[in-house]
Every structure is written in structure tokens, then in C-alpha cells.
Amino acid sequence: MAMDTYMSLRVSSPDPGEAAVLRGEIERLDRLFSPDGENSDVARLNSSGKITADGSTVELLSRTLALCAELDGALDPTVFPLVKEWGFIDKNYRIPDRATIDSLLSRTGYSAVGIDGSQITLPEGFALDLGAVAKGYAADRCAAMLRDSGAESALLNLGGTVAAIGKKNGGADWTVGIADPENSADYIGYLSCSDRTVATSGSYERYFVGDDGKTYCHILDPATGAPVQGDIVSVTVVSDSGLLSDALSTALFVKGADGANKLYRERGDFEYVILTKDGVALVSEGLTDSFTLKNSSWRLEAVK
């Protein structure tokens, strides 16, 4: 259990202590990035507005800020005060009034985060949360450590962010399931992959139904300060980088199916499977050979 989720590490390595070393690294990152906890860089930054941070925090935050800009602000870790206000942290779910949302929105915006060497600063009233990218970063760290130690095969499942390293012992590609939004213990289909990281963000993971009967999920649109009410149920992103896959799974959810496709054509460094509210599995061109649909109540549509 780390980063608020269950994880499993399956490692084939000449060093029998390898999995324990990875576990230690994930726990170290969890302590740094946790929004509460005494030794957490993120908690210290949120309460004091200025910290000297660990190198991993600086690296993750600077790479995340660069992605926020590339993704037109669809990814923005400074939405955290709004995530809290909607009750996603204390699980006391509520719909804030417009004035409260507007007032908190005026204290968000990733460009206000300052990084100068190991010094990180936040303006008064701002707070951030790296929950959308921490698991992807941890997956990249673990993959790098495995490479350094000569391990050739591993499957790291960091709670919805899965790093498939090398091949299975038998030499076949790894198989990664995409959760069924209606029953997340089951899968709607499978991706076969090797040396890729697969990250999924879904509105079925954490949500509440408001007094108005609408469903509110834990991914917020930084432009409105409210949970995304788009056409997507889940987004799975496949790329060479855990951080990129994790960042994109959140950002594409905000952008919606059309915005996701536009970005796909522009960037060329990721593939995706988007499940829409209408029961369609939109599968990007590069995955058509590696994705197998298992649940026939979904309609598969290849997209370019």
C-alpha cells in the first residue's frame, strides 16, 4: 500500500533483494510527495510556501510543470485546494458554491510555482498535489533501477500505472488488462506490451453523486474548478515514459475524446484507449495489433 493505492511488484532479477529495494524507493517517494506527513516535501511546501526540496521532488515537479504547459493547463497540480473543497481528500463530498470556486480558482495556476535550484516556492494561498503524476514518476525510477542492476524482466503495477519491463520469462509480451468501468475487478480487454508504461485514469475510481443527481469524479477541469463532465469514462495511455503516461491519462480525461485525438496527432509519442460514455472503445492506430477487446458490449473503433 503506497500513494493511496495497492501496488504489486513482480521482478525477475539476479539480485533476490531487488523487489525490496524498489519497495523502499516507492515508500521514500510516497513520503516526499504525500500531501500530509511531517517529512513530506509537498506538505511542507503547502504549509510554508517555500522549501528546500529533495532532488526527486525538484525533478518531478519541474518535469510536471513543463508538461502542464505542453498540455495547455489540462494538467495542473495547483488545483489541489479545489480537489479538497469538493471533498475528495476528506471524503466529505460536497458541491461548493460558485463564489467559493471562483475565489479558490484565483489561487490556482501552475505557472505560479517557482523552482530555483532546490528551492521551491508557492504564492500565499496556493497548494499543490502530485497525485496525478507521482505513480508514473515512481514507475520510471523503478524501471531505471532495474536496468542499472541488470534485471531484464518485471511487471510493476503501481495502482493503475503499470510498467511492463522486458518480456515475461517465457519470452512473450506482458499482458495488461484495461479495467471495466462497470466492474473494475474485471477487464474489458487486454494490451500486450513490452518496455512500455500503461496508465489509466477513470471517473469510476473515485466519485460521488450530488444532491442534484449528477455524478462528480475526482479529476477536475483546471479551467472551471469543477469535476470533468465530459464524454469519457476512462483513458488509458501507453508510452515509453511512466510520467508521460500518467500525466496524459489525467490531461486527456480533461480534454475529452476530440481534444485527445488532436493531441495524439500533434505529439506522436503516445497511444491511447479511451472508453466513452456511449460504450465505444476508441483505440489509437498504433495499438490496433496489441489491443484485444474481450467484452463484446463495447464497440471498438480504431482512430488515427
Burial class (CB in 10 A: 0-12, 13-18, 19+), 169: exposed
| Minimum distance of ligand ADP from residue 76's CB (angstroms) | 5
- Output 76 or 180, the one with its CB closest to ligand ADP: 76
Ranges within 119-148 binding ligand ADP (CB under 6 A):
129, 131-132
76 binds ligand ADP (CB under 6 A): yes
Q: How far apart are alpha carbons 130 and 34 in whole angstroms?
A: 8
Give burial (CB, 10 Å; 0-12/13-18/19+) of 212: exposed
Cell numbers representing residue 274 in the block? 479511451
According to the binding rule CB under 6 A, does residue 176 interact with ligand ADP?
no
**x/- map, 240-259, ligand ADP, by CB under 6 A:** ------x--xx---x-----
Determine if 250 is a binding residue for Mg ion (CB under 5 A).
yes
Query: Which cell is 170 given?
Result: 517465457
When asked if residue 132 is in the footprint of Mg ion (CB under 5 A), the reply is yes
Q: Is 138 helix (H, G, I), strand (E, B) or coil?
A: helix
Cβ proximity to Mg ion: between 132 and 232 the closer is: 132
Q: How far is the CB of 291 from Mg ion (least distance, A)?
A: 20
Decide: is 75 part of the binding site for ligand ADP (CB under 6 A).
yes
Residues 208-237 within binding reach of ligand ADP (CB under 6 A): 218-220, 222
Nearest-angstrom CA–CA distance, 72 and 240: 21
| Residue 220 lies near Mg ion (rule: CB under 5 A) | no
State how far the alpha carbon of 99 is from the alpha carbons of 94, 95, 105, 106, 221, in Å: 14, 12, 10, 11, 17
Half-sphere exposure of 139 (CA within 13 A, CB side): 33
Residues 82-101 close enough to bind ligand ADP by CB under 6 A: 83, 88
Residue type, 46: N
Q: Is 164 in the site for ligand ADP (CB under 6 A)?
A: no
Q: Rule CB under 5 A: which residues touch Mg ion?
A: 132, 201, 246, 249-250
Q: Rule CB under 6 A: which residues touch ligand ADP?
A: 75-77, 79, 83, 88, 129, 131-132, 160, 201, 205, 218-220, 222, 246, 249-250, 254
